């Protein structure tokens, strides 16, 4: 199997979460972009309407949303210094009203950078308080510091629209929030689950940026939100990938939105890997042997899309550390 076919499906299937440098970012519009390693055409950015007055803006593998109201625009992650001006231009095609709010989903630079173009037109930046602390601890001149911070919950209201933000404790990053668009009842999720499949292998199997010690609690609360608010649709903060069922070639999933079932699936994923590591240790398996033992048992091998034994070993080494140290 050539490297590209080992690597690319992985990257696509795993929803290209977090920090993926896109090979073709510098390309000009007139140069046709291809999916890295393939001959598939690839638009560097696109804007899709996902509900009335609600839009998804994708730039490379990253996605943000913006909501158009009769008093201005509520935007989310500006993504990067390259993406944000494009997003602003896309917004201008829809409305002349200014961007009044920019809400950060979390503090990672690959989602939060580039907001200056919105700041310049007077936008107020909103972030969970631990995100603000992160940006003080490790500042980046390309990331606009928040004007408004909050703890567990915040609601942006503008004109006839509103966007709710919920913080359920550390998850991916220590300050990630989920966002609920009230008019369409759509949930915007970044980096923690992506439609259409909650069983996709983690893009980084070491889950280095995740806080696995709180993931089951996090997803339990998120699933509770899905149920109590009767949420049916999720918008993913990344472009999804899959395999072509006929050719088995990697392909982009045309689906910015997907069913909210990804939340329950991700909850089950985290619950299963957390329990498996703890159970092996409780049975007396030496920590160094836990990953091999779990791979031998075939844990979730038929369930995880893009299952790869080596990646599973890395993941289970992480989960074993968690069981021993609490981190």
Partner 1 sequence: MMNSSSMPRTLAGLAVAWLLNACSPATPPTLPANIEQVADGVYLFQSGGQRSLFLVTDDGVIVTDPLNATAARDYRAAIAELTDQPVKYVVYSHYHWDRVSGAEVFTAEGAQVVAQERCTERFVDNPNPAVVMPDISFSDDYQLSLGGQSLDLHYFGPSHGDCLTVFVVQPAGLMQLVDLVEPPRAAFPANRNVPYVKPHNLRQFFAAAAELATAADVTEILASHVRFIDDGKGGQMPSPATAPVSVIGDQARFWNEIYSAVETARNEGNIGIDSFVRLKTIDTARFEPFDGYRKEDLPIIMRRFVGFYDMGR
User: Contact residues for partner 1 (CB under 8 A)?
Assistant: 3, 7-8, 10-11, 18-21, 23, 36-37, 107-110, 134, 137-138, 140, 143, 169-170, 173, 203-204, 206, 208-209, 213-214, 314, 317-318, 321-322, 324-327
| Residue 284: CB minimum distance to partner 1, A | 14
| Residue 123: CB minimum distance to partner 1, A | 21
Nearest to partner 1 of 36, 198 (CB atom): 36
Nearest to partner 1 of 259, 287 (CB atom): 287
| Residue 74: CB minimum distance to partner 1, A | 24
Contacts of 108 (CB under 8 A, 6+ apart): 18, 19, 173, 191, 209
Token pair, residue 56, equals 């998804």
Nearest to partner 1 of 4, 279 (CB atom): 4
- Residue 215 contacts residue 274 (beta carbons within 8 Å): yes
Nearest to partner 1 of 195, 241 (CB atom): 241
* Nearest by Cα to 86 from 42, 28, 31, 144: 28
| Residue 274: CB minimum distance to partner 1, A | 12
Q: Are strands 250-252 and 233-236 parallel, antiparallel or unpaired?
A: unpaired
Residue 308: left if φ>0, alpha if ψ -120 to 50, beta else—which one?
Answer: beta
| Residue 40: CB minimum distance to partner 1, A | 13
Nearest to partner 1 of 100, 311 (CB atom): 311
CA distances from 241 to 35, 176, 248, 257, 259 (A): 11, 23, 12, 13, 16
Q: How far is the C-alpha of 102 from the C-alpha of 118, rounded, in Å?
A: 8
Nearest to partner 1 of 301, 324 (CB atom): 324
* Nearest by Cα to 169 from 215, 124, 229, 226: 215
Residue 59: left if φ>0, alpha if ψ -120 to 50, beta else—which one?
Answer: beta
| Residue 209: CB minimum distance to partner 1, A | 6
303 membership: H or E segment, kind and range: none
Nearest to partner 1 of 37, 159 (CB atom): 37
| Residue 232: CB minimum distance to partner 1, A | 30
């Amino acid at each position: 199997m050539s490297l590209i076919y080992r690597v690319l499906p992985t990257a696509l299937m795993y929803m290209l979460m977090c920090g993926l440098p896109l090979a073709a970012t510098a390309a000009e519009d007139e140069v046709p972009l291809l999916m890295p390693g393939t001959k598939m055409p690839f638009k560097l950015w696109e804007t899709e309407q996902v509900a009335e007055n609600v839009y998804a803006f994708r730039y490379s593998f990253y996605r943000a949303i913006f909501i158009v109201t009769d008093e201005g625009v509520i935007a989310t992650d500006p993504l990067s210094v390259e993406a944000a001006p494009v997003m602003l231009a896309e917004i201008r095609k829809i409305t002349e009203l200014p961007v009044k709010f920019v809400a950060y989903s979390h503090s990672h630079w690959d989602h939060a950078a580039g907001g200056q173009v919105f700041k310049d037109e007077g936008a107020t930046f909103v972030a969970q308080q631990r995100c603000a602390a992160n940006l003080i601890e490790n500042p980046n001149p390309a990331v606009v510091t928040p004007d408004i911070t909050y703890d567990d919950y915040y609601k942006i209201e503008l004109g006839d629209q509103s966007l709710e933000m919920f913080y359920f404790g550390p998850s991916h990053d220590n300050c990630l929030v989920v966002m609920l668009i009230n008019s369409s009842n759509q949930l915007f999720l970044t980096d923690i689950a992506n439609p259409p499949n909650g069983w996709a292998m983690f893009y980084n199997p070491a889950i280095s940026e995740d806080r696995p010690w709180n993931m089951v609690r996090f997803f339990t609360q998120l699933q509770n939100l899905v149920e109590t608010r009767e949420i049916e649709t999720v918008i993913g903060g990344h472009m999804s990938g899959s395999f072509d069922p006929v050719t088995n070639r990697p392909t982009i999933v045309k689906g910015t939105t997907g069913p909210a079932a990804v939340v329950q699936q991700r909850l089950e994923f985290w619950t299963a890997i957390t329990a498996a590591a703890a159970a092996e240790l409780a049975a007396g398996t030496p920590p160094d042997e836990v990953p091999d033992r779990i791979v031998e048992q075939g844990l979730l091998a038929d369930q995880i899309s893009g299952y790869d034994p080596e990646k599973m070993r890395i993941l289970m080494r992480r989960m074993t550390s968690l069981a021993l140290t609490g981190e």
